[in-house]
A and B are shown apart, each in its own frame.
Chain A
């Protein structure tokens, strides 16, 4: 069984490019060029140089001693929170901006929910001196003010998405409409492993640097490159895709994908797509998504804006359907508690997205000799307001 994309852009039955004809030339241009361009030595050289000198890679693989002692297993944290801009998102935006330049694009658009991907996109656009427009739901603009300010400081234009539910899915719709209106000079930097083929594969490849590093780092520390478990939170699925990538075909490495249960999987306020979703089409991809019986896409809920997406990338839909990855849903409350716990046991304040993955230790027992790698996808600075309100700090 293969867990990678096939040449038609599908992971098993999921994926493809269900796009209006207006986007066909753009998507086709990308599809025909992304592997060729990213394989060029000059691309690879520039990509890795920027990841090293600008982003600060490799990020450490840190043995979390006190957390390990508490849960009686061996826990390693892959420190994506130490990247420039504070999350894994920048791995992808560096890759895509280099690609966009080689395609001769002079304008960048992006969608963002919490603002992390928007900031990572605005950052690389500033770096390259390219015009940047970020679409963000009106509701999210109101609740993520610091990231809106960061994008503006970086020179990006932040455009409110006022349609539908005014959150991430609507921001994505607006970005796609912008692309329809500006098909020639613009590249759309999609922020996760979602959207029409080749986006899920392209973003996964840029994020794959995470598991590439885990392999040699673990070999150095443990004398083996393969852990027993790799665990990551899943919004659209990009940090999980990066952490899983080089382990996909090695079934001895168990994969755990952690979704946001919000106020409880069946509370009506949840973002646990694998449990609540059904097969369908969202943003150009056939995958699992939350929807009504009539096929209208519904609004998810999570305390973390980065997990608040009604779909999941097609790779993850396939990992779920085939059972290759175990999917676990974690509530707001459990995530918040685990975020505080990591802060006090290890001196690391995680993003609330990441806190969901940490909470799994309360529900699943690992053996003392198991090596569990968690992708610490981002730092908690952006979430301070939420932490403050929640814990009345």
Chain B
């Protein structure tokens, strides 16, 4: 069974961490993944850096720029992850924009993901409709789950459509914003979390964008299955380096 689906069955709120591959240092990828698993993280999103990350705020823009400057590429990431499944068991998801995947070749990219043991992909600028019409079979052939996003502006009708074509979980963007630009959750988020909860979707939801500490993690997971921390983790890496990982994760639980 796909590791994501298995993990979603665990009777607890899931903590997922996003980081940008190749940041702070080019060769940190494997070490970061191992530290995260050892610290008790449930799932990891490995960010494939892109020159023009439209949906990201300054923190992830900067880590992406730095990673590319360090020399990160799709090819190199797959090389770094070659033996990752010898040591790591939690679900691994690659998050990347569509153009680098398109240039690698969608089929070749999916095949490489499967070879190294990636369980799913998040491609923010590959719309659900286009995926469903053109790429679904390739993803499925390589046992990859594609994760779709919903936002507070997504209509109920479209949420139902996305729920229908999802396997695994739905990535619930917490507010109308790019990554990293939120200062906490207010009544608006609460109403949105409740609205989605009340829809009784087939797929569990994991909340992302704006989760930065224990408080926001708890708020987000009151109604959802889990939450994803990205920018706050990158900021910690910038300040403390990879040695700060276990302390940071411990503060969240």
Is the pair A296, B68 in contact by a Cβ cutoff of 8 Å? yes
* B177 proximal to A (CB < 8 A): yes
* B50 proximal to A (CB < 8 A): yes
Is the pair A296, B51 in contact by a Cβ cutoff of 8 Å? yes
A172-180, A266-274, A315-323, A361-369 - the one binding chain B: A172-180
Is the pair B153, A18 in contact by a Cβ cutoff of 8 Å? no
* A169 proximal to B (CB < 8 A): yes
Residues B26-72 near A (CB distance < 8 A): 50-58, 61-62, 65, 68
| A-chain residues with CB within 8 Å of residue B73 when the two chains form the complex | 294
Is the pair A21, B173 in contact by a Cβ cutoff of 8 Å? yes
Q: With A and B bound together, what is the CA distance between A338 and B65 in angstroms?
A: 39
Is the pair A18, B154 in contact by a Cβ cutoff of 8 Å? no
Residues B162-177 near A (CB distance < 8 A): 173, 176-177
Chain B residue nearest in CB terms to A181: B177
Interface string of A3-31 (1 = CB under 8 A from B): 00000000000001111111011000000
* B150 proximal to A (CB < 8 A): yes
* B23 proximal to A (CB < 8 A): no
| B-chain residues with CB within 8 Å of residue A296 when the two chains form the complex | 50-51, 68, 100
Is the pair B68, A18 in contact by a Cβ cutoff of 8 Å? no
Chain A residue nearest in CB terms to B149: A21
| B-chain residues with CB within 8 Å of residue A183 when the two chains form the complex | 151, 153, 176
* A122 proximal to B (CB < 8 A): no
| A-chain residues with CB within 8 Å of residue B61 when the two chains form the complex | 163-164
Q: With A and B bound together, what is the CA distance between A278 and B102 in angstroms?
A: 11
12 A–B contacts from the bound complex (CB under 8 Å): A21-B154, A21-B173, A24-B154, A163-B62, A173-B52, A173-B53, A181-B176, A183-B151, A284-B54, A295-B100, A295-B103, A296-B68
* B158 proximal to A (CB < 8 A): yes
Sorted nearest first, the 5 A-B pairs with minimum C-beta distance are A295-B100, A295-B103, A21-B149, A296-B51, A20-B124
Task: Identify which of B99, B126, B178 contacts A280 (C-beta below 8 A).
Answer: B99
Is the pair B153, A280 in contact by a Cβ cutoff of 8 Å? no
* A44 proximal to B (CB < 8 A): no
Is the pair B99, A297 in contact by a Cβ cutoff of 8 Å? yes
Given contacts A22-B153, A25-B155, contact A281 B102 (CB under 8 A): yes
Chain A residue nearest in CB terms to B76: A294
| A-chain residues with CB within 8 Å of residue B86 when the two chains form the complex | none
Q: Give the size category of A's interface with B.
A: 35 or more
Is the pair A177, B148 in contact by a Cβ cutoff of 8 Å? no
Q: Give the size category of B's interface with A.
A: 35 or more
| A-chain residues with CB within 8 Å of residue B98 when the two chains form the complex | 18, 281
| B-chain residues with CB within 8 Å of residue A177 when the two chains form the complex | 54-57, 178
Residues B68-83 near A (CB distance < 8 A): 68, 73-75
Task: Identify which of B68, B125, B173 contacts A281 (C-beta below 8 A).
Answer: B125
Task: Identify which of B51, B102, B148, B178 contacts A180 (C-beta below 8 A).
Answer: B178
Residues A278-300 near B (CB distance < 8 A): 278-284, 291, 293-298
* B101 proximal to A (CB < 8 A): yes
Given contacts A294-B74, A295-B103, contact A20 B52 (CB under 8 A): no
* A184 proximal to B (CB < 8 A): yes
Is the pair A184, B127 in contact by a Cβ cutoff of 8 Å? no
* A344 proximal to B (CB < 8 A): no
Is the pair B103, A294 in contact by a Cβ cutoff of 8 Å? yes
Is the pair B128, A21 in contact by a Cβ cutoff of 8 Å? yes
Chain B residue nearest in CB terms to A176: B54
| A-chain residues with CB within 8 Å of residue B51 when the two chains form the complex | 164, 296-298
**Contact surface of B with A, Cβ cutoff 8 Å:** 50-58, 61-62, 65, 68, 73-75, 97-104, 124-128, 130, 148-151, 153-155, 158, 173, 176-178, 181
Least Cβ–Cβ distance between B91 and chain A, in angstroms? 21
Given contacts A164-B52, A295-B103, A297-B51, contact A181 B178 (CB under 8 A): yes
Q: With A and B bound together, what is the CA distance between A176 and B124 in angstroms?
A: 14
* A252 proximal to B (CB < 8 A): no
Is the pair A20, B125 in contact by a Cβ cutoff of 8 Å? yes
| B-chain residues with CB within 8 Å of residue A25 when the two chains form the complex | 153-155
Q: With A and B bound together, what is the CA distance between A183 and B154 in angstroms?
A: 11
Chain B residue nearest in CB terms to A289: B99
Q: With A and B bound together, what is the CA distance between A22 and B149 in angstroms?
A: 8
Q: With A and B bound together, what is the CA distance between A295 and B68 in angstroms?
A: 11
Known A163-B61, A294-B104; 20 more pairs at CB < 8 Å: A18-B126, A20-B54, A21-B124, A21-B128, A22-B151, A164-B51, A169-B52, A173-B54, A182-B176, A184-B153, A280-B99, A281-B97, A281-B125, A291-B99, A291-B103, A294-B100, A295-B102, A295-B104, A296-B50, A297-B51
Task: Identify which of A24, A280, A291 contacts B127 (C-beta below 8 A).
Answer: A24
Interface string of A175-205 (1 = CB under 8 A from B): 0110011111000000000000000000000
| B-chain residues with CB within 8 Å of residue A176 when the two chains form the complex | 54
Q: With A and B bound together, what is the CA distance between A298 and B51 in angstroms?
A: 8
Chain A residue nearest in CB terms to B96: A295
Least Cβ–Cβ distance between A82 and chain B, in angstroms? 36
Is the pair A281, B99 in contact by a Cβ cutoff of 8 Å? yes
Q: With A and B bound together, what is the CA distance between A65 and B148 in angstroms?
A: 60
| A-chain residues with CB within 8 Å of residue B176 when the two chains form the complex | 22, 180-184
Q: With A and B bound together, what is the CA distance between A341 and B228 in angstroms?
A: 60
Chain A residue nearest in CB terms to B103: A295
Is the pair B99, A295 in contact by a Cβ cutoff of 8 Å? yes
| B-chain residues with CB within 8 Å of residue A163 when the two chains form the complex | 58, 61-62, 65
Q: With A and B bound together, what is the CA distance between A22 and B102 in angstroms?
A: 21
Is the pair B104, A18 in contact by a Cβ cutoff of 8 Å? no
Chain B residue nearest in CB terms to A178: B178
Q: With A and B bound together, what is the CA distance between A34 and B104 in angstroms?
A: 35
Q: With A and B bound together, what is the CA distance between A17 and B102 in angstroms?
A: 15
Chain B residue nearest in CB terms to A182: B176
Is the pair A22, B99 in contact by a Cβ cutoff of 8 Å? no
